[in-house]
Amino acid sequence: MSQSKPAGVLDARILGPACRGAFVKLDPRILSKNPVMFVVAVVSALCTVLFLRDLVTGAPGLGFSLQIVLWLWFTLLFANFAESVAEGRGKAQAASLRQTRSDTSAKRLDAADSRQWHEVAGESLKVGDIVLVEAGDIIPSDGEVIEGVASVNEAAITGESAPVIRESGGDRSAVTGGTQVLSDWIKVRISAAAGSTFIDRMISLVEGAERQKTPNEIALNVLLAGLTLIFVLATVTIPAFAAYAGGAVPVIVLVALFVTLIPTTIGALVSAIGIAGMDRLVRFNVLAMSGRAVEAAGDVDTLLLDKTGTITLGNRQATEFRPVPGVTDRDLADAAQLASLADETPEGRSIVVLAKENYGIRARDMQGLGATFVPFTAQSRMSGVDFDGTSIRKGSVDAVLRHVQAADSADGNVATKAREIRAIADEVAKAGGTPLVVVRNGQLLGVIYLKDIVKGGIRERFAELRQMGIRTVMITGDNPMTAAAIAAEAGVDDFLAEATPEHKLDLIRAEQAKGKLVAMCGDGTNDAPALAQADVGVAMNTGTVAAREAGNMVDLDSDPTKLIEIVGIGKQLLMTRGALTTFSISNDVAKYFAIVPAMFTGLYPSLQALNVMGLATPQSAILSAIIFNALIIVVLIPLALKGVAYKAIGANALLRRNLLIYGLGGLVVPFVGIKLIDVTVTALGLA
């Protein structure tokens, strides 16, 4: 599914609630969560009290004081507005999700008699209840299919109109409440209680109501609080210096100095940046269970990717029949087609088509022959057909050779043919293909060459990841030679062949023991341990409940390649926070040249040399600086929500880029902005 377009800042659905939210967030209990803005609120309240006192006593300079007080409150409101806009976009998405969660009824099956059911309210279902869902019914809650197979419309969750198949006993057994069965029927065991379903969690997360601060965000808040404390101490000492020089500095001016010099810009936007990062994932149809997972994606060092469906197209195609000496191509193709007539996998269908197109072999009426088809199993690793005294099998090299050696073979040269088969299989594997061996009545006929196509452009994407310092590891069940060939073609850094769930888990732990953060994706129950162990575990929505519960992200589109985009979004979040922090600190340095000369020029005329902006008067300088301090928050809201432009570059290049664009920009922009505001303020006679 393509990325959905977010609601803009000026969208009426966002603007109105965000304006109201800006005032609601003036609640001290909410402000206390942001130390910088809480301090701004305290000094704003103090200045308001002092202004009211001066108003009663008729003190001079009330117009200037009123403007300072108003812009202090505007600074606070703009900061709240930024966070409210970020939350508002999530709430708009949550509203659409709520439409999918209606008062659905359910056909709950009796525990005593599974053929009988009673209609009950969907909200009354408990974990472990079994419900019958037929064509046209809405699935009442999250669960796992235990019987039947059905076509399900999941557009309410994924936005994808194409229906998907859900069936029992596989890795596509999980179903989500609010989706609709289009055909056939299924029995579903409920796995989530009312109020804790997948949609409920999505709503709470996209609204940001339960968004917990991440360790990086907490660390940044501690840094900002420390800087604020330093400026508090510095501001407190200024009156003493002024008194020593035989003058005094008004409290309102001290407050203006303090608010413009503390890191209000990043303090106002840090929460919005975090919320927007999760929002970007949701728009890519990825649900992050926590902000920590998003940030971890940005810090990932090692990326584990399944070969099939991620690096390759996933549908292996038969491209060639390679017989052993003494067997013709046509004879091998005929046996391979017979063994594949009941094989509904893409590989099986491609074998039938290849035999038909290359040798004109048409499908036979196997029903008339009384044929018995043997399905593939994980234990046998073979499939085939038995008919009229003939037994044909196709499967992996080792499985077929064991089958031949265990049988009472009619072929007296099994060892010789086995060597020939292995030689052909090695050639196929070295070329990056998958060999399937065909045997008929104990006679080894040859090898089917299955080719798995590497996705176009994937090599370039891995090169970008390598440039970012991320190591890519391909996970596959193929033999080492096949894995090595595909890994070389795809351009991954390493591979794990013949991978089992235990091997995946061991690999993740080994990487983490080196101090690295690991990301991986999976969809099956056997992937659950590795998903739980990984720092970023992306579970496919089509997968099992166990996989979805183990991961800390769920991809609603079930697209394994999206793991690369997830890493990019995580890095964009960290880059945005770092860029705006750099801009904010540089910004404060520039504002120093506007405020300090204005404050002390009367006491120390030599400080006029620092008035490099040529500001008109001390009052206009102070007012211009505090107006700029408030307006820059509004100007940066779109950047905080959209994120800085993401480029796959190394850490050193990223640091240079941040310093050049946002560090230098943070110095230059205030000089230009404050000067323009000063000209305007002076022209209007406001100071």
Assess whether 279 carries a catalytic annotation.
no
- CA–CA separation, 278 and 286 (whole Å): 9
* Burial zone of 603 (CB within 10 Å; 0-12 exposed, 13-18 middle, 19+ buried): middle
In the three-class reduction of DSSP (H, G, I as helix; E, B as strand; rest coil), residue 233 is classed as helix
Cα separation, 337 vs 363, whole angstroms = 8
Residue 432, phi then psi, degrees to nearest 5:
90, 10
Structure tokens given for 628? 């700029």
CA distances from residue 291 to 206, 274, 376, 514 in whole angstroms, order as listed: 11, 7, 42, 24
Nearest Cα neighbor of 166 from 151, 188, 187 is 151
Distance CA 175, CA 151 (A): 11
3-state secondary structure 166-177: EECCCCCCEECC
Helices (H), 500-617: 501-513, 528-533, 545-550, 562-600
Strand order in the sheet with 372-374: 317-323, 443-451, 433-440, 390-395, 382-387, 372-374
Marked catalytic residue, from 200, 279, 306, 452: 306
How many CB atoms neighbour CB 183 within 10 A?
Answer: 14
Q: Which positions ≥6 away from 168 have C-beta within 8 Å?
A: 145, 146, 147, 148, 149, 186, 187
Residues whose CB falls within 8 Å of the CB of residue 46, separated by 6 or more in sequence, listed in order: 251, 255
Q: Which helix (H) or strand (E) holds 296?
A: helix 291-298
Helix axes 562-600, 664-684, angle to 10 degrees: 50
Does the CA dihedral 207-212-215-219 come out positive or negative?
Answer: positive
Q: What is the C-alpha to C-alpha distance for residues 417 and 212, in angstroms, rounded to an integer?
A: 64
What are the residue numbers of the active site?
A: 306
